[in-house]
Structure 1
Amino acid sequence: MTAPLTAQDRCDRCGAQAYVRVALAVGELLFCAHHARQHSEALEGVATSIQDETHRLHEKSEA
């Protein structure tokens, strides 16, 4: 299992908090929800696995 994404994980496209990790044969990419959706079709064709934590965007905080 891959470690959960944290606030320190940043989107490789824009620098926002990453909620999606895409494992490739030669490394990985991190994406915010917006860029993961924007590039989803291309990523599905080359990814060895996709860790999608976008459901966390709708969770209520325990503050």
Structure 2
Amino acid sequence: MYAVSEPGARSGMDPSGRWLYVDVTATMSPQLTAEDRCDRCGAQAYVRVSLPSGELYFCAHHGRKHAPAFSEIATDILDESDRLLSEDQSDRR
């Protein structure tokens, strides 16, 4: 699972193009559900960005697109887009 719990914990993105990552701790907020929707397009949200002023939700596409802008100002980023691959794999069986 990918998340950033503190701004500036690591700089740059990992080679897979996902969000910055650190170990997930018990202080992380709950997992995203199918009811969480992208603030840009309304698709299922797989990324939650916490800012000092509130939270934004993004689908995997918009999460990747806006990652550079929010990586610098976010207080917490929860990226569950790796669930997409596991869900796709289970549908093909």
| Structure-2-length-normalised TM-score | 0.63
Structure 1 residue 19, shift from structure 2 partner = 0.1
Please name the residue that 1:25 is paired with.
Answer: 52
Out of 15, 29, 32, the position equivalent to 2:42 is: 15
1:51 counterpart letter in structure 2:
L
Structure 1 residue 46, shift from structure 2 partner = 1.2
Matched, 1:51 2:73: no
Structure 1 residue 20, shift from structure 2 partner = 0.3
Query: Runs of 4+ in structure 1 displaced over 3 angstroms?
Result: none
Structure 1 residue 61, shift from structure 2 partner = 3.7
Matched, 1:36 2:58: no
* Distance of 1:12 and 1:37 partners within structure 2: 14
For structure 1, the residue ranges without an aligned partner over 5 or more in a row are: none
Mean CA deviation greater in 51-60 or 10-19: 51-60
Report the number of matched residues. Answer: 63
Rg: which structure is higher? 2
If each structure's helix is expressed as a fraction of its own residues, which one has the higher value?
A: 1
- Quick one: percent identity of the two aligned structures? 61
| Structure-1-length-normalised TM-score | 0.92
